[in-house]
């Protein structure tokens, strides 16, 4: 009974959302960390357990808030990513997304993992294909990519300035067991990335360990 | 001797022409036998869907009675209320997610669906949801632009 109550309370906290009160503008803002490749090889895998949080999402065009782990080519912007998102309709998904050779993108949407849980989101690149996993299950593979990148990112993102970033100051969204994979040996190691905060007056982050950090929207407590 | 050679050449020529014709005919028969007939759906071309890892082929079974509206509702709910463009019953093949079954394919208005990637925000030009005809649950949604 106590466990059930605790679980419900935990889920309730993760489900909390608040309007940060910012004016609306479409764009793309991130907070999290970026991982450069080790000397002499690329990163071809990226994984993290990400707390599923239900943020406030401003109702407008091209609008969602998401948390993901990603492989990216910093020069061509070709990429693959897997994580979860909440749209302005209120609908939440687990999602995968890959750039295409034609300069477009292809996104797949799946039933979201439970709010308040911390599923593992993992992407690997091999045999010229992105392989996407949630909690160890291969949910999608994209072979139609033009990917040739080397770095990883593990971040939260808002698509409108009026939307809430994942988390509140008293209810951070934690990225844990965050690792990346060397392409030469296929060994996984702690991501220990360099922090990125594209709007420090709106968002904040806290390093926890070499494989863990948390993020939140500064305008929101929970 | 010369006449015989000419006759032989004529026969040889006819054999060659017949062989080419037979090869072309066999090729077309083989192609139609191995290429699945695709089911078109409004809002996205078969080529774009194939690029996204999904093909809609002729269904193997009969269209389930009375299930079309249920599938449409499930797809619309999955897509957050997006307007429906078209709905087809097809054999849905999406190897990336191990989908290989008859299903309802529902094409919806992709307005507002967009890329989350690092480039400038790109709007989706298609949105398709595949619905399991037995459970009535959405199997997967796919949106994007080529």
Nearest by CB to A79, from B80, B97, B118: name it. Answer: B118
Identify the band that residue B8 occupies on the pLDDT scale cut at 50, 70 and 90: low
CB contact set of B36 (below 8 Å; sequence gap of 6+): B55, B57, B58, B91
* Count of positions (residues) in chain A: 222
Look at residue A106 in the predicted model and tell me its pLDDT. 95
Q: List pLDDT tens digits, range B50-96.
A: 999 999 999 999 998 878 899 999 999 999 999 999 999 999 999 99
For residues B27 and B65, what is the distance between their CA atoms, to the nearest angstrom?
39
- pLDDT at residue B124 is higher than 90: yes
The phi, psi pair for A125, rounded to 5°, reads -125, 120
Choose the weakest-confidence range: A50-54, A112-116, A146-150, B38-42: A146-150
Of B65, B13, B73, B49, the residue nearest B125 (C-alpha): B49
For residues B96 and A137, what is the distance between their CA atoms, to the nearest angstrom?
12
Look at residue A103 in the predicted model and tell me its pLDDT. 86
The residue of chain B with its CA nearest to that of A99 is B117
Give yes or no for a contact between A199 and A214, defined as CB atoms under 8 angstroms apart. no
Tell me the residues of chain A between 65 and 94 that have a Cβ less than 8 Å away from chain B: 66, 68, 72, 77, 79, 81, 85, 87-91, 93
- pTM, whole model, 2 decimals? 0.87
Task: Identify the DSSP state of B78.
Answer: H
Give yes or no for a contact between A93 and A82, defined as CB atoms under 8 angstroms apart. no
A97–B53: do the CB atoms touch at under 8 Å?
A: no
Q: Which residues of A touch B126 (CB under 8 A)?
A: none
For residues A197 and A179, what is the distance between their CA atoms, to the nearest angstrom?
20
What is the mean predicted confidence (pLDDT) over A62-78?
90
Task: Report the gap between the CA of A75 and the closest CA in chain B (Å).
Answer: 10
Look at residue A16 in the predicted model and tell me its pLDDT. 72
List residues bridging with B108 in a β-sheet. Answer: B84
A105–B95: do the CB atoms touch at under 8 Å?
A: no
What is the mean predicted confidence (pLDDT) over A112-118?
97
- Regarding an ipTM greater than 0.85, the answer is yes
**Kind plus residue range of the DSSP H or E element containing A47:** strand A43-50
Q: List pLDDT tens digits, range A81-101.
A: 999 999 999 999 999 999 988
Q: List pLDDT tens digits, range A141-196.
A: 998 677 888 999 999 999 999 999 999 999 999 999 999 999 999 999 999 999 99
């Amino acid at each position: 009974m106590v466990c059930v109550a605790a679980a419900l309370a935990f889920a309730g906290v993760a489900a909390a959302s608040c309007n940060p009160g910012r004016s609306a503008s479409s764009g793309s803002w991130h907070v999290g960390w970026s991982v450069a490749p080790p000397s002499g090889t690329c990163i071809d895998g990226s994984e993290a357990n990400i707390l599923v949080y239900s943020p406030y999402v401003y109702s407008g065009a091209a609008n969602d808030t998401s948390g993901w782990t990603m492989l990216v080519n910093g020069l061509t912007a070709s990429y693959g990513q897997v994580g979860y998102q909440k749209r302005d309709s209120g609908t939440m998904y687990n999602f995968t997304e890959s750039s295409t050779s034609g300069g477009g993108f292809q996104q797949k949407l799946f039933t979201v993992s439970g709010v308040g849980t911390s599923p593992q989101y993992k992407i690997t690149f091999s045999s010229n294909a992105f392989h996407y996993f949630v909690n160890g299950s291969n949910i999608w593979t994209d072979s139609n990519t033009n990917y040739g990148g080397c770095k990883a990112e593990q971040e939260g993102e808002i698509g409108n300035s009026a939307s809430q970033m994942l988390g509140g100051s008293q209810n951070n969204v934690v990225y844990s067991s965050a690792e990346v994979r060397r392409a030469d040996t296929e060994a996984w190691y702690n991501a220990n990335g360099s922090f990125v905060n594209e709007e420090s007056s709106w968002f904040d982050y806290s390093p926890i360990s070499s494989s863990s950090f948390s993020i939140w929207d500064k305008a929101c407590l929970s | 001797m010369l006449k015989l050679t000419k006759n032989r050449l004529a026969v040889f020529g006819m054999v060659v022409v017949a062989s080419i014709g037979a090869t072309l005919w066999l090729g077309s028969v083989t192609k139609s036998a191995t290429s699945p007939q695709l089911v078109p759906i409004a809002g996205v071309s078969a080529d774009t869907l194939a690029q996204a890892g999904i093909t809609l082929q002729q269904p193997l079974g009969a269209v389930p009675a009375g299930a079309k509206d249920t599938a449409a509702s499930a797809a619309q709910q999955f897509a957050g209320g997006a307007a429906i463009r078209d709905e087809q019953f097809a054999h849905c093949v999406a190897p990336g997610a191990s989908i290989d079954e008859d299903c309802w394919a529902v094409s919806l208005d992709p307005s507002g669906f967009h890329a989350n990637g690092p480039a400038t925000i790109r709007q989706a030009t298609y949105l398709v949801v595949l619905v399991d005809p037995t459970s009535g649950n959405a199997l997967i949604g796919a949106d994007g632009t080529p």
